[in-house]
Amino acid sequence: MNKPSRPDVVTETESLLVSRRRFLKAGLVGSAVLVTSGVAVNIAQKESPSVHPGYLWLQPQDVAFLSAILPALLKDSIPEGNEGKPSVIRGLQQLDNNISRMSPAVQQELRKLFDVATGPLTKGITTGIWQPWEQVTPAEAETFLQRWRNSRLALFRMAYSSINQLSLMAWHETRDAWLHLGFSGPPHSNILVTATNRY
């Protein structure tokens, strides 16, 4: 005589099957996004605009993107709204200066990252932001950052980590950050103690 199946075993099996389907679906969607992004980035790089006036490496679309997200990344360190814009600009300039001194290999990877976040074929699907970055509010920028930070795709989590660390490093090199922290600055800031690293 056949033994009746245990409800808890059936439920657990069904749960595992559903989880597996969700995992496979997420993997397929993620792969499609990455393939589409890769093709679009290759196109964008061939049509890449020139450097933004007044900057060494950042391009106009990079400045728009970073100007939108920096207030969210630095929300506890700079004033809100227009009052904080000068600090954002100085942070951008320091970030641009830092990237311009990095190795070509690192610059190439950052170019791919920025092109994915700003490209017309990739921005909406990868960031959830469909309007121009110039129109994005700090709250919308925060939502985007959390989306990448908590993404199932490791690539997006790594992208968030890179942008966050580079931005914070640049910010803490500015006098605005020193004033915010109550630091008067290095005693001999005009003297280069070690040679510039191209990391």
**CA nearest neighbour of 152 among 33, 16, 7, 38:** 33
Q: In this structure, what token pair is assigned to residue 25?
A: 């679906």
> Which pLDDT score, from 0 to 100, does residue 167 have?
93
Q: If you average pLDDT over residues 71-100, what whole number do you get?
A: 85
pLDDT tens-digit readout, 56-80:
999 999 999 999 999 898 887 776 7
55 confidence band (pLDDT: 50, 70, 90): very high
Beta carbons within 10 angstroms of residue 136's beta carbon:
23
User: What confidence score (pLDDT) does residue 178 get?
Assistant: 72
CB half-sphere exposure, 109, CA atoms < 13 A: 10
Higher pLDDT, 159 or 174: 159
First to last CA, the chain: 72
State the greatest distance between any 2 C-alpha atoms of the chain, in Å, as a whole number. 89
Model confidence, pTM: 0.70
Express each pLDDT in 97-123 by its tens digit: 999 999 999 999 999 999 999 998 899
DSSP string, 152-174: SSHHHHHHHHHHHHHHHHHHTTS
